[in-house]
Amino acid sequence: MLFRVAWMILLVVAVRASDWPRFLGPQGDGTSTETNLVDRFPTNGPPVVFDLPTGIGYAAPSVRAGKLVLFHRVENFEIIQVLDALTAKPLWRHAYPTRYQDPYGYNNGPRCAPLITTNRIYTFGAEGKLTCVDLSNGAELWQRDTAKDFEVPEAFFGVGSTPLMEDGKLIVMVGGQPNSGVVALDPETGKILWESVGEKNWTGQPMLDWPGDRMVEWDRSEKQASYSSPVAATVNGQRLLFCLMRQGLVALDPKDGTVKFSRWFRARVPESVNASDPVVFGSDVLISSAYYHTGAALLRVGPGGTNFTQAWRGLGLEMHWSTPILHNGFLYGFSGRNEPDARLRCVEFATGAIKWERDESFAKHSLEQPPVFGRGSFVFADGKLFALGEGGLLAIFRPNPAQCEEVSRWQVPSLKQPCWASPVLADGRLYLRSEDRLVCVDIRRPGKP
State CA 434 to chain mean position distance. Answer: 15
What is the radius of gyration, based on Cα positions, of the chain?
21
Kindly list the distances between the CA atom of residue 316 and the CA atoms of 292, 293, 347, 440, in Å, as whole numbers in the listed order. Answer: 14, 10, 7, 33
pLDDT digits (tens, 9 = 90+) for 323-362: 999 999 999 999 999 888 899 999 999 999 999 999 999 8
CB atoms within 10 A of CB 152: 22
Q: What is the DSSP letter of 269?
A: S
pLDDT value of residue 242: 97
- Angle CA 32–34–36, to nearest 5: 145
Does the domain spanning 18-202+220-442 belong to CATH 2.140.10.10? Answer: yes
pLDDT value of residue 308: 94
pLDDT value of residue 213: 56
Q: Which pairs from 244-247 meet CB under 8 Å and 24+ separation?
A: 244/274, 244/276, 244/277, 244/278, 244/287, 245/173, 245/175, 245/181, 245/182, 245/197, 245/274, 246/175, 246/222, 246/273, 246/274, 247/202, 247/222
Q: Residue 338 is which amino acid?
A: N
- Angle CA 416–418–422, to nearest 5: 105
- Cβ atoms of 171 and 241 within 8 Å: the answer is yes
- Cβ atoms of 140 and 123 within 8 Å: the answer is no
DSSP letters along 286-337, please? EEEE-GGG-EEEEEEEPGGGS-EEEEEEESS--BSSS-PEEETTEEEEEE-S
pLDDT value of residue 217: 45
Q: Where are the domains of the chain?
A: 18-202+220-442
Contacts of 48 by beta carbon, 8 Å cutoff, 6+ apart? 439, 440, 441, 442
pLDDT value of residue 193: 98
In whole angstroms, what is the distance from residue 186 CA to residue 290 CA?
A: 34
pLDDT tens, the chain, 449 aa long: 433 344 333 433 454 668 999 999 999 999 999 999 999 999 999 999 999 999 999 999 999 999 999 999 999 999 999 999 999 999 999 999 999 999 988 999 999 999 999 999 999 999 999 999 999 999 999 999 999 999 898 888 999 999 999 999 999 999 988 888 999 999 999 999 999 998 777 765 554 556 555 544 444 445 567 899 999 999 999 999 999 998 899 999 999 999 999 998 988 777 889 999 999 999 999 999 999 889 999 999 999 999 999 999 999 999 999 999 999 999 999 999 988 889 999 999 999 999 999 999 988 766 556 789 999 999 999 999 999 999 999 999 999 999 999 999 999 999 999 999 999 999 999 999 999 999 999 999 987 66
Contacts of 162 by beta carbon, 8 Å cutoff, 6+ apart? 22, 23, 112, 113, 115, 124, 229
pLDDT value of residue 378: 98
